[in-house]
Amino acid sequence: MATVPELDSEMIAFHSDENDLFFEVDGLQKMKSCFQSLDLSYPDESIQLQISKQDLNKSFRQVVSVIVAVEKLWNTPVPCPWTFQDEDLRTFFSFIFEEEPIFCDSWDGELIVADAPIRQLHCRLRDEQQKCLVLSDPCELKALHLNGQNINQQVVFSMSFVQGETSNNKIPVALGLKGKNLYLSCVMKGDTPTLQLESVDPKQYPKKKMEKRFVFNKIEVKTKVEFESAQFPNWYISTSQAEHKPVFLGNNSGQDLVDFTMESVSS
């Protein structure tokens, strides 16, 4: 988060009562302000800018007043030997604003750095045969055809865009079930990578840096999408050709269905 340090008293030679001078319609009053590596004065001495090497330490209102003064300089008809450009103002902001992390209290009383807001998309998925994904057992997804009122049984995923290895055709995402504390994850069971629904703490998930077992590389193939496990490359979320079979992690052998159509759902 960007914070605004206060400007030093020598940085700007006016305070809040004098800020009104910058908003007068009839003209500019005599004032002094400062920028790094800038020394500018007008021939009639109506405006003067001076250099100060002091640390910035004044209020945000006064910083805004400096910017308003610069805007006045742009619009004044008095000839000036040096012209302000957008790049010049950008250099000033690096001295005005400081970037700091956001801290919050953890449950054990220690300070931790909070994640930035996570972009999410709610969606439904269907395989190549238009089978829908439904929550069969408490922690198992199955693929089957639905119609009529049964269509409401299909699950809605909360797709979170998370950290991972991003490339031109791969976007790292995590797939949670909307309204439930369940996320698809990939673990090794025996010697086989396995897809499961894992229960998580809703106070900690979703987060920007998800554990690798939760991360899938979303790959767009024409109008379809595939979901490759980040933990086990070349293993994909798959469905069977048969009806009412569990959704599983397959190695794209050609017999399993790995391509899905994705339908966005309003929040």
Domains of the chain: 48-96 (no CATH), 120-264 (2.80.10.50)
pTM of the model: 0.58
What does DSSP assign to residue 56?
A: P
pLDDT, average across residues 206-215: 95
Q: Given a cut of 90, is residue 178 above it in pLDDT?
A: yes
99-150 pLDDT, tens digit each: 555 555 544 555 544 556 789 999 999 999 999 999 988 889 999 999 888 8
Beta-bridge partner residues of 219: 170, 226
Report the amino acid identity of residue 83: T
Report the amino acid identity of residue 190: G
Structure tokens at 138: 């408490």
For residues 135-157, one letter each, b for 16 or more C-beta atoms within 10 angstroms of the residue's C-beta and e for the rest, the string is beeeeebbbbebeeeeeeebbbb
CB 163 within 8 A of CB 170: no
76-108 pLDDT, tens digit each: 555 555 555 555 555 555 445 555 555 555 445
* Number of Cβ atoms within 10 Å of the Cβ of 251: 14
CB 163 within 8 A of CB 172: yes
Q: Given a cut of 90, is residue 68 above it in pLDDT?
A: no
**How many residues does the structure list for the chain?**
267
Structure tokens at 58: 């004044």
- Hey, is 139 helix, strand or coil? coil
pLDDT, average across residues 228-252: 95
- Tell me the CA distances in angstroms from 45 to 12, 30, 31, one per residue in order: 17, 8, 9
CB 174 within 8 A of CB 214: yes
- Sign of the dihedral defined by the CA atoms of residues 4, 9, 15, 19, in that order: negative
